[in-house]
């Protein structure tokens, strides 16, 4: 909920991937507060298309902000990247309740198409939900392509795991043969962000600086990891509100931040229990890779499993842009009717494609 990530990609939706320029456009603090306020409102959504309260107005503002961001981005990139064939539009997640078949991403694809003049693929989770899946995670298809690229360089061997540490952490296990295995592994940055915001009035623990001054409370870590979610077989997914700070009550600021960093790391490592074999390589992307305490714990734990943990940049990728790149990649796959999800990634009944195509001339509303 910190801003808009944009990335350009040239791809056929298969193994061919050429990564282009990227940019992050941050939300101002006032708009972040609006997004925070939207989370409890979204809890009353009856289905993925429902927009209770002022969510419809917020959706329009989010979409316009994305349109402005796209125009700003394209104006500053080399000419070869200035005329995209397609935009993959994620929108802003405000509710994810797969057990109820509900996942709400605020973002009007028709309006974005109208405002940018480019075709837009959006709402890429809905078809998976209708097919019995969790609707998340969706990035595994792209992780498979990236793993193939790493293998082609001859420096890394299967199996590999891609770890995305956002508000929630998710993993993709990529075997040499067969479909990927993916699921949400547990809280990522969300609990740490909530902790330092509540206790210190700051939005996040930059690079794990606060955590680095604290110690780990093993009983608190155990209370979190004893939650039923962690013994639940994959596929499985989470909403950022599924975990709270109650287990950490009573800890001082730095000890709480350090303990929650350990929870994030141990939750990711615990995911190995649901993999067919221990991975050789763990590639970490998302904001959590910048938390030194999370990375220290991950490296130590993976070493015990005879694996190596690296930040995405160490293998030539950009850990801040992989999710945005994934949405561009998924848009191309959706356009060609290729699977976005598999039973092993979301629990859908069979591999399914998805998404809605919005052409610029099909928009119903123009600002």
**Residue 365: what pLDDT?**
39
DSSP 3-state assignment of 145? helix
pLDDT per position as a tens digit, 96-115: 999 899 999 999 999 999 99
Mean pLDDT in residue range 68-79: 98
Is the pLDDT at 2 greater than 90? The verdict is no
37 and 88 inside one domain? yes
Asked whether residue 338 is domain-assigned, the answer is no
Mean pLDDT in residue range 273-293: 96
The HSE-up count of residue 60 (CA atoms within 13 Å, CB side) is 8
Cα gap 342→356, rounded to integer Å: 19
In the chain, how many domains are there? 2
Asked whether residue 341 is domain-assigned, the answer is no
298 and 207 inside one domain? yes
Asked whether residue 334 is domain-assigned, the answer is no
Task: Give the residue with greater pLDDT, 200 vs 153.
Answer: 200
118 and 193 inside one domain? no
Mean pLDDT in residue range 184-196: 95
Mean pLDDT in residue range 243-265: 97
166 and 108 inside one domain? no
pLDDT per position as a tens digit, 284-299: 999 999 999 999 999 9
Please list, in sequence order, all residues whose beta carbon lies within 8 angstroms of the beta carbon of residue 198, skipping any fewer than 6 positions away: 245
Quick one: what percent of the chain has pLDDT higher than 90? 91
Note the Cα 132 to chain centre separation in Å. Answer: 20
Cα gap 188→263, rounded to integer Å: 8
**Residue 189: what pLDDT?**
95
Alpha helices in the chain (DSSP H): 29-42, 55-75, 109-116, 126-130, 140-152, 190-200, 218-225, 253-270, 292-304, 322-335, 343-346
Matching residue, tokens 């995670």: 137
What pTM did the predictor assign?
Answer: 0.90
Asked whether residue 88 is domain-assigned, the answer is yes
Name the average pLDDT for the chain: 95
110 and 175 inside one domain? no
Q: What is the CATH number of the domain that holds 258?
A: 3.30.420.40
Asked whether residue 31 is domain-assigned, the answer is yes
Closest among 9, 94, 28, 105 to 321, alpha carbons compared: 9
103 and 167 inside one domain? no
195 and 120 inside one domain? no
pLDDT per position as a tens digit, 317-360: 999 999 999 999 999 999 999 999 999 999 999 999 999 999 99
Quick one: what percent of the chain has pLDDT higher than 70? 98
Helix (H) or strand (E) holding 283: strand 281-285
Asked whether residue 309 is domain-assigned, the answer is yes
Is the pLDDT at 367 greater than 90? The verdict is no
Please list, in sequence order, all residues whose beta carbon lies within 8 angstroms of the beta carbon of residue 343, skipping any fewer than 6 positions away: 133, 179, 235, 349, 350, 351
Q: Determine the number of helices (DSSP H) and then strands (DSSP E) in the chain.
A: 11, 12
**Residue 159: what pLDDT?**
97
* Residues of the domain holding 71: 3-131+350-362
Question: CB–CB of 248/257 below 8 Å?
Answer: no
149 and 174 inside one domain? yes
Matching residue, tokens 């295995």: 181
Q: Is residue 309 very low, low, confident or very high in pLDDT (cuts 50, 70, 90)? A: very high
Sort 24 into a burial class: Cβ within 10 Å, 0-12 / 13-18 / 19+. Answer: middle
């Amino acid at each position: 909920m910190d801003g808009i990530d944009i990335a350009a990609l040239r791809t056929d939706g298969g193994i061919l991937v050429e990564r282009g320029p990227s940019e992050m456009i941050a939300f101002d603090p006032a708009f972040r507060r609006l997004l925070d306020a939207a989370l409890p409102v979204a809890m009353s959504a009856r289905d993925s298309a429902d927009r209770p309260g002022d969510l419809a107005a917020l959706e329009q503002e989010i979409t316009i902000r994305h349109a402005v961001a796209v125009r700003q981005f394209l104006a500053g990139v080399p000419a070869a990247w200035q005329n995209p064939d397609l935009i993959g539009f994620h929108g802003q997640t405000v509710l994810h309740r797969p057990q109820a078949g509900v996942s709400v991403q605020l973002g009007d694809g028709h309006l974005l198409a109208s405002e940018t003049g480019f075709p837009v693929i959006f709402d890429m989770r809905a078809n998976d939900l209708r097919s019995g899946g969790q609707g998340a995670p969706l990035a595994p298809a792209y992780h498979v392509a990236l793993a193939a690229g790493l293998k082609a360089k001859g420096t890394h061997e299967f199996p590999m795991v891609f770890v995305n540490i956002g508000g929630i952490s998710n993993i993709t296990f990529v075997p040499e043969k067969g479909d990927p295995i993916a699921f949400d592994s547990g809280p990522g940055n969300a609990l740490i962000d909530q902790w330092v915001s509540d206790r210190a009035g700051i939005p996040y623990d930059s690079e794990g600086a606060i955590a680095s001054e604290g110690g780990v409370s093993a009983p608190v870590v155990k209370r979190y990891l004893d939650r039923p979610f962690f013994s639940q077989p994959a596929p499985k997914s989470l909403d950022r509100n599924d975990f709270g700070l109650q287990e950490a009550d009573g800890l001082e600021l730095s000890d709480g931040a350090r303990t929650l960093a350990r929870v994030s790391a141990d939750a990711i490592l615990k995911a190995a229990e649901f993999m067919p074999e221990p991975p050789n390589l763990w590639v970490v992307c998302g904001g959590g890779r910048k938390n030194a305490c999370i990375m220290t714990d991950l490296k130590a734990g993976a070493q015990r499993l005879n694996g190596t943990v690296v930040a995405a940049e160490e293998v030539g990728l950009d850990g801040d842009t992989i999710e945005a790149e994934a949405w561009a990649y998924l848009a191309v796959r959706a356009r060609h009717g290729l699977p976005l999800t598999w039973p092993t990634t979301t629990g859908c009944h069979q591999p399914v494609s998805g998404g809605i195509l919005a052409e610029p001339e099909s928009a119903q509303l123009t600002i």
